[in-house]
Amino acid sequence: MLSPAPPSRPRILICHAEGPANALFMENARDNCTEPYRLLRQSWIDMGFAVEEVSESALQDCALLLFWDPSSIRHGIRGLIRNILRGYRPNWLGRAKQAGIADRTALIAFEPPAACAGNADLAIYDEFPVVLTWNDAVIDGRRVVKYRLPVPEQYPSPPMVPFSEKKLLVNISYNKYSNVPGELYSARRETIEYFEQHHPDAFDLYGVGWLGTQDSLQRSTGRGRRHPSYRGTVENKWDVLPQYKFSLCYENSRDQPGCVTEKIFDCLRSDCMPIYWGAPNISTYVDDDVFIDRRKFASNEELAKFIGSISDSQYETWRKAVAHYLASERFRQFLSPAFVSTVNTALGMVDRAATAMDYRFSGVQMSGRAASI
């Protein structure tokens, strides 16, 4: 007599704002930036889950439907506009409610409002039993849980270029625009333009969106400006940053407590002193002696004078402080293993796996409250 076929794996469904969730798990992504999410997915597979893109056929029987950013929900007027501009996608949150599995949903808030305006709508948090966010202003430690925006654990050691052989300043970023209050895209451009005009031989610009255009509409809005300091794109920041003493390290916005992204860590791990402007509580997460606080300078001119005065010995003192910080628990909390642990604990993944498998072995389809955690 043949043994019964083993039950299929319980499914975790991903709904990603920008389309296929596979983009989260790409191998060989720039700066190894997908490592935290690949390790998270692998932890779910190791628990016995299958990880899939959200679909109608899989919705009813999933163990978890995870929304990646509020913008992935596409509800209301903003959702209608995104469907028009980027192609139709179902309102999966609405469909989850119709299917009676709203208690099997969760939300990870990722981008700050300056990068994704729809993420400013905190009311959407009320739709979920569990929300993970970096935003220190809204966490309650119960339903709304804090996580740190993760950086990869695997990162190459930089070449130690002598201070005297490093060029002064670099910026590596996308050229983006936003009308959200507190955005720093415009401040970044102002600093770039200052150094282009006053220190053209000491500054280089890399990234996407800086080439400019001859389009009259973009020129009239300032978006078509050509940058003489532009040197192209980079495959990995760690290939470029070690060649410079300092890097502009402006977050997307300045008024978001807890929004500490990879930008400052890429600099610290690449032997390049960051000029930081972003999270107002940055000192909660990063030692004061390993970055230059842009808020202390009234103008770009003051900033230029300060970084021009830094000596070789001061730079060596900074390097020692960076080594101490990168070996600390404060920094390890940003690495992939801490991220995986935080997410799985907040989502109760061990209990979800046990409950899902219990129902599958018993032959009962998961539905409603019976399968929720």
How confident is the chain (373 residues) per 10-residue block, as mean pLDDT? 50 82 84 96 95 84 91 63 57 92 94 82 92 95 95 96 98 94 96 98 96 51 76 96 98 95 98 98 98 98 98 98 98 98 96 67 45 34
Whole-number Å distance between alpha carbons of 180 and 242? 33
Backbone phi, psi, residue 14, to 5°: -110, 130
Whole-number Å distance between alpha carbons of 321 and 160? 15
Whole-number Å distance between alpha carbons of 119 and 130? 16
Whole-number Å distance between alpha carbons of 193 and 313? 30
Whole-number Å distance between alpha carbons of 270 and 263? 11
Which stretches of the chain are DSSP H helices?
Answer: 35-46, 56-59, 76-86, 92-98, 185-198, 216-220, 262-268, 300-309, 312-326, 329-332, 336-347, 349-361
In what order do the strands lie in the sheet containing 203-206? 203-206, 167-172, 244-250, 273-277, 292-293
Strand, coil or helix: 143: coil
Task: Write down the pLDDT at residue 140.
Answer: 92
Domains, the chain, ordered by start: 11-152+335-371 (3.40.50), 163-332 (3.40.50.11660)
Around Cβ 263, how many Cβ atoms within 10 Å?
Answer: 20
For residue 73, CA distances in Å to 79, 95, 124, 152, 284 come to: 7, 11, 9, 27, 32
Tell me the sheet residues that pair with 15. Answer: 67
Contact 53, 45 (CB under 8 A): no
Angle at 307 between CA 306 and CA 309, to 5 degrees: 70
CA-based R_g, the chain, Å: 23
Whole-number Å distance between alpha carbons of 323 and 334? 16
- The upper half-sphere exposure of residue 160, i.e. CA atoms within 13 Å in the direction of its Cβ, equals 5
Around Cβ 358, how many Cβ atoms within 10 Å?
Answer: 13
Q: Which of 99, 100, 34, 110 is nearest to 70 (CA)?
A: 110
pTM of the predicted protein model: 0.88
Strand, coil or helix: 370: helix
- The upper half-sphere exposure of residue 172, i.e. CA atoms within 13 Å in the direction of its Cβ, equals 25
Task: Write down the pLDDT at residue 351.
Answer: 85
Paired tokens of 94: 């609405």
Backbone phi, psi, residue 199, to 5°: -140, 55
Contact 45, 353 (CB under 8 A): no
DSSP state at residue 274: E
Q: Which of 331, 314, 184, 303 is nearest to 252 (CA)?
A: 184
Task: Write down the pLDDT at residue 116.
Answer: 81
